[in-house]
Amino acid sequence: MRHTEAVEPPSPFRLDELGTLQFERLCVELLGLDAGRLDVRPWGRFSLLIDEGIDVPGSGLLDGPVLVVVAWLRRGSSPGAPDRLHELLLDSLAVWEERPARSLLVLTNVAAPLDLPSEVAATILGPDELWRLYAASPLARLRAPAALGVADLDALVPEDAARRSSADVAASVELAHIFVPTRAYHDALRALERHSFVVLTGPPEMGKTAIARMIGLAALTDGWEVHECIRPDELWSRFDRDRRQVFIADDAFGSTEYRPEAAEHWAVELDRVLRAMDARHWLVWTSRPAPLKAGLLRIHREHGVERFPQPAEIDVDAARLDNGEKALILFRHAKSASLPEAAVALVQAHGWRVVSHPHFTPERIRRFVAGPLRELTLQQAADLDTLVAEEIRRPTDAMAASYRALAPGDRAVLHALLDTPPGPVSERELLAAVRRHSPAGLAQHPAQIVDRLLDHFVRIVEPASVTWVHPSWRDLVIEELAGDAEARRAFVGVCGIHGIALALSTAGGAAGERSLPLLRHDGDWDAVADRLAELLPELEPPCVALLLAALAEARSGAPDAAQRELGALALEVLSQLARVWSASHSGVPVGLLTAWLSLASTVPEPPPLPALAAAWVELAPSQPVDLASAAEATAFDDWLVLVEQLHRHDPGLLVRFGFPEAQLARIEDYVASALRLAASGEEPASRPTVVRTLRRLARLVPTLAGDAYEASARLELRMRDRSSNTEEVILRPLSPELERLLAQPLIAQDRDELLVARVLRDL
């Protein structure tokens, strides 16, 4: 029998907005089913055969075996949902025909009568029936909170409980439309049921506050009061032993007022607070782990461990999102945003590229869906990766407010982290940078400050290194520092070489738009010049190389308006380096000299060359070169690099050094040795180095060009012959066990991609 689509009255349960996966999870919670026993068939339906029967609230006991079928069907632009549901159920019965069911229980988002075989007693729970079950089950609302976003909350939230609550209920209701209960949510719920207390940890934007507020909203629908408390005294002023209450202690409520000392206030009160929590009073604290552990350590020391849980039992890390959870987050945001068809098609076609981004956070995906995604078309899909990366890296207003609320000592530690090498740095390196930026000392040891900043601004990389929680935090601190003239000048006035490199950097920021971030005014240029004058005499060669590279990149990439100041700074650095090198009476490394000369070529009036006699004496060959020695071959090649640089920049000095006549015997011996090796088939220690050296000699000493080119050509030909002479490899037969293992598909990523595609197909 076929059915026509009927016009249904408005339902208090908008199940069409949930999608397949979340609808299935809702049904599992409503009936208390064992999700591990589900037989998952084609996407959009699962079935489970329960031999012993099942008691359905409102419908009574269904005789077993009972076939339970959960079916979410996409409607709207896809008509004929009742017909498709009818066909799906007949197919499900056929799948289980070897174990025929006496009863059929159908949970679906489609309200329609069905014509099924008479021997099967069918019970259908559509939107209205599922609504009644959900409204009657506080536990289902706690364990399936996503459905709160598609439910009539006015009918679920008692007015008196809402009136007594001090929490921002409106914000929680708005959040419900896009909330996805992740593993962290369910872990938090289990911790509350066991301890009446949970701490949600993790980086910013990962949903800690969202989890706390949704637990509060679900409890509110059962008559609990919900209170958001920034300080412990606010909790005590609202505490009532005779009422059921959820207290949410958020360090920042969305990070906008981040204050590290707030967590310490809670740690001091932790003993008293935990003693007040019970089955009718819950506390959800979003914090960093360090203050929690400090507070619990004090309690364990003073009162023992019997009454209070260990931190590992109540710590819940909100940052652990798998790809399925990320896909559902993207789905809920896209569904809630009522995107145009072109944007929906783009999400469905390229959602994996969004979900799999390594820096995905719920807040950033919200911004992406609400912002640039609306304007994209399928033809612009090639730009999707760039747009996602830009949106994900762009710091939020909440992050900026968090930074601005920090104490000066905390900011000093973050500034010091900017003045260290990229990537994780050791605590020793960070401490040295902190001392540069806080010569008068800090009120607390830097390690204590880092502990306070953990998981919000910075994170620990085992065993003992520190880095940013996310690259966007570094970008934000740079931008905030750059916008504060006094702090900016103070930074460049005391920083090390890595801070100087930051000041001179170009193409920074989310879209490569940031250039010379800490050099905005004349005073900044004066400060960095003064600092370099202090640093240069003590810089080690790697730091000198970094400085010369940073100046060269700035000369080629900075705006024209900054080139005059850059040129003056480059000239001063070149001149001072030349003086330092000349005064040292030691050889200048050839690589540094090459970088010096390259930068000097960008200055209209370059300074005189540094004294190079020591370098020449150190590098010029004084005895025949043994080509069987890689060290001697490399040293000879370094000397020729110096010769090339002098030939290009100061040929007169090369003449004064007597090149090539004074070294001609050594050069001729080198070429002759190379010819003998090429003819005999023997191998030099480093054939690529010898070939490179021979070509340099051919250019620098024309009288030996013929022999040098011949030797280099023979050696290079031998290299090509050897690289093309591949040895045939005969593979051993694989064991049957290994063949079976290899025949299994590598499905981890494919499975994730398929899951993402299926979730987003329901948009």
Domain ends where: 704, 723, 742?
723
Region 252-256 average pLDDT: 34
- Site of tokens 């783009």: 346
Region 87-98 average pLDDT: 72
CATH assignment at residue 275:
3.40.50
Measured in degrees and rounded to the nearest 5, phi and psi for residue 672 equal -65, -40
Three-class DSSP category at 542: helix
Kindly state the tokens that stand for 235: 């909790």
Domain ends where: 356, 375, 393?
393
Does residue 526 or residue 257 have the better pLDDT? Answer: 526
- What contacts 24+ positions apart, CB below 8 Å, involve 31-36? 31/56, 31/68, 31/107, 33/68
Mean pLDDT estimate for the chain: 78
Does residue 235 or residue 260 have the better pLDDT? Answer: 235
pLDDT at 385 over 80: no
Considering the domain architecture, whether residues 76 and 165 belong to the same structural domain is answered as: no
Residue 738: pLDDT band (50, 70, 90) is: very low
Whether 559 maps to a domain, the answer reads: no
Measured in degrees and rounded to the nearest 5, phi and psi for residue 108 equal -150, 160
The pLDDT tens digits of the residues spanning 439-457 come to: 777 667 777 777 777 767 8
Q: How many CB atoms lie within 10 A of CB 346?
A: 22
Whether 418 maps to a domain, the answer reads: no
In the DSSP assignment, the letter for residue 245 is E
Whether 577 maps to a domain, the answer reads: no
pLDDT at 530 over 90: yes
Number of domains comprising the chain: 4
pLDDT of residue 314: 54
Region 1-28 average pLDDT: 71
- Kindly state the helix (H) or strand (E) to which residue 67 belongs, with its residue range: strand 66-71
Three-class DSSP category at 482: helix
Whether 549 maps to a domain, the answer reads: no
Strands 66-71 and 45-50: antiparallel
pLDDT of residue 394: 61
Sorted by sequence, the CB contacts under 8 Å of residue 602 that are 6+ apart come out as: 552, 555, 556, 567, 570
Measured in degrees and rounded to the nearest 5, phi and psi for residue 379 equal -70, -20
Region 381-404 average pLDDT: 66
Strands 54-56 and 281-286: unpaired
Half-sphere exposure of 666 (CA within 13 A, CB side): 20
Distance of CA 302 to the CA centre of its chain: 40
pLDDT of residue 172: 87
pLDDT of residue 718: 65
Does residue 482 or residue 440 have the better pLDDT? Answer: 482
Q: For residues 213 and 175, what is the distance between their CA atoms, to the nearest angstrom? A: 8
Does residue 762 or residue 534 have the better pLDDT? Answer: 534
pLDDT of residue 253: 33
SS3 breakdown of the chain: % helix, strand, coil, rounded to 5? 60, 10, 30
- Site of tokens 């070509």: 695
Q: What percent of the chain has pLDDT over 70?
A: 77
Whether 636 maps to a domain, the answer reads: yes
pLDDT of residue 598: 85
Burial label, 512 (beta-carbon count in 10 A; 0-12, 13-18, 19+)? exposed
Kindly state the tokens that stand for 166: 């001090």
Residue 393 near residue 374, CB atoms below 8 Å: no
Burial label, 306 (beta-carbon count in 10 A; 0-12, 13-18, 19+)? exposed
Considering the domain architecture, whether residues 167 and 260 belong to the same structural domain is answered as: yes
Considering the domain architecture, whether residues 344 and 212 belong to the same structural domain is answered as: no
Kindly state the tokens that stand for 634: 């490399």
Considering the domain architecture, whether residues 62 and 131 belong to the same structural domain is answered as: yes
Considering the domain architecture, whether residues 128 and 158 belong to the same structural domain is answered as: no
pLDDT of residue 213: 92
Distance of CA 304 to the CA centre of its chain: 39
pLDDT at 734 over 80: no
Cα distance from N-terminal residue to C-terminal residue, the chain: 29
Q: What percent of the chain has pLDDT over 90?
A: 17
Q: Nearest Cα to 240, choosing from 170, 165, 160?
A: 165
Considering the domain architecture, whether residues 233 and 380 belong to the same structural domain is answered as: no
Q: Apex CA 413: angle with CA 499 and CA 472, to 5°?
A: 70
The pLDDT tens digits of the residues spanning 280-290 come to: 999 998 865 55
Whether 91 maps to a domain, the answer reads: yes
Residue 521: pLDDT band (50, 70, 90) is: very high
Domain ends where: 705, 723, 741?
723
Does residue 314 or residue 477 have the better pLDDT? Answer: 477
pLDDT at 114 over 60: yes
Whether 53 maps to a domain, the answer reads: yes
Sorted by sequence, the CB contacts under 8 Å of residue 20 that are 6+ apart come out as: 43, 44, 72, 758, 759, 762
Half-sphere exposure of 467 (CA within 13 A, CB side): 12
Residue 104 near residue 89, CB atoms below 8 Å: yes
Q: For residues 316 and 322, what is the distance between their CA atoms, to the nearest angstrom? A: 15
Considering the domain architecture, whether residues 307 and 375 belong to the same structural domain is answered as: no
- Site of tokens 């619990």: 296
Which residues are registered as beta bridge partners of 470?
Answer: none
Considering the domain architecture, whether residues 238 and 383 belong to the same structural domain is answered as: no
Whether 50 maps to a domain, the answer reads: yes
Considering the domain architecture, whether residues 296 and 152 belong to the same structural domain is answered as: yes
Domain boundaries, position 623? 614-723
Buried b (16+ CB within 10 A) or exposed e, 702-715: eebbebbbbbbebb
The pLDDT tens digits of the residues spanning 648-665 come to: 888 888 889 888 898 888
- Kindly state the helix (H) or strand (E) to which residue 181 belongs, with its residue range: none
pLDDT of residue 747: 43
Considering the domain architecture, whether residues 345 and 254 belong to the same structural domain is answered as: no
Residue 142 near residue 215, CB atoms below 8 Å: yes
Q: For residues 735 and 35, what is the distance between their CA atoms, to the nearest angstrom? A: 38
Considering the domain architecture, whether residues 115 and 92 belong to the same structural domain is answered as: yes
The pLDDT tens digits of the residues spanning 192-215 come to: 988 898 888 766 667 788 899 999
**Strands annotated E in 644-708:** none
Residue 178 near residue 336, CB atoms below 8 Å: yes
Lowest mean pLDDT segment, chosen from 124-133, 135-144, 675-684: 675-684
Considering the domain architecture, whether residues 160 and 96 belong to the same structural domain is answered as: no
The pLDDT tens digits of the residues spanning 610-638 come to: 888 888 888 888 888 888 888 888 888 88
